[in-house]
Amino acid sequence: MDGLQWVELVGACLAAGGLGWFGARWVLATLQLRERKKRSAELYGGEPFKVEETDQGWLWTLMVTQSLHATLRLPFQRLAWFQSYEQKVAERIQAAGLSARVRTVGVLRTQALMGLSALAIGAALGACFSGEAAMLGAVAGLGLGLWWPWRALEHRAKLRLMELERHLPEMLDVLALGLRSGMTFDRAFGLYGRHFAGNVLADSAQAAERSWEWGLTTREEGLKELAASFSSPLFRRVIDTMIRSLRYGTSMAVSMEEAAAECRARYRAVREEAVAKTPVKMMLPTGVLILPAMLLLVLGPVLLELMEGF
């Protein structure tokens, strides 16, 4: 058997194994659906759970989707690196402020779909030139499709972190001013969320205050969840200081003023560093775009005279 026949044989074996595994999952999902119907019949006094004909197609589609997802995800669930990657994706979703709207499974599905789609597009474009270009296009497309959703989460988390660093000194100053004027912590904390609504920090602080005011969580847990929603070690230290002061009854106004000064100095240092990096970043477009044009403009006539001389 030559190499092509071996490739066809391996591909056929993999396809048969995949179809067999999916068939087993399909049978298992069908048995689970029948068991649920039987339990619903017992629950409703012996009468079977009636499903409208218009909803049957939706139920079968849902069952196929769940079976396919379980089939594709099961081999990776036991791998330590996959579990670690799931944890990192969950942390990125929380840092991006999308915990209430986006799930980890949704991001993984999006990465898989975009990776496969980009792989097919890259392979199709590369096949117009050669087989090697098709392979390179497929690999590049797969990498780009898997990387793009993660890059979107990273970009959103970075923007939220920049806005946090800009408004955090303001929040700490308002909190310290409210505490010095005789307000309780809850009123001083809610003062910033109510009067400075519109930025990410004020909206998140107001949502956290409502969660413990309505009894959905305790004040300490709400503050910890607020700190976890931003990937900022400095903000996490500030929240820990608040929790310790509330737990032991120590004065918080002085510590908040000191933290505000530290946050303001840190934000100024970060902005100055970004401004100092701008000339270095401008060297790349200058060297790639402007310098060759200037050399061509200056040395072009000299090169033409040399070519005419030869």
pLDDT attached to residue 130 = 78
Helix (H) or strand (E) holding 75: helix 53-77
Q: Quick one: pLDDT at residue 252?
A: 87
Helix (H, G, I), strand (E, B) or coil at 197: strand
Q: Which burial class, exposed, middle or buried, applies to 122 when counting CB atoms under 10 A from its CB (0-12, 13-18, 19+)? A: buried
Q: What is the pTM of this model?
A: 0.64
**pLDDT tens per residue across all 310 residues of the chain:** 544 455 456 556 666 666 666 666 666 666 666 666 666 655 555 544 444 444 455 555 555 555 555 555 555 555 566 677 788 888 888 888 888 788 888 888 888 888 888 888 888 888 888 777 888 888 888 888 888 888 888 888 888 888 888 899 999 998 998 888 888 888 888 888 888 887 888 888 888 888 888 888 889 888 998 888 888 888 999 999 999 988 888 888 888 888 899 889 988 888 888 888 888 888 877 777 787 778 888 887 877 777 776 6
Distance CA 179, CA 176 (A): 5
pLDDT, tens digit (0-9, with 9 covering 90-100), for 16-61: 666 666 666 666 666 666 666 666 655 555 544 444 444 455 555 5
Which pLDDT does position 64 carry in this prediction?
56
Q: How much is the pLDDT for 309?
A: 65
pLDDT value, residue 79? 57
Q: Which of 121, 90, 119 is nearest to 106 (CA)?
A: 90
What is the pLDDT at residue 55? Answer: 46
- What's residue 76's pLDDT? 53
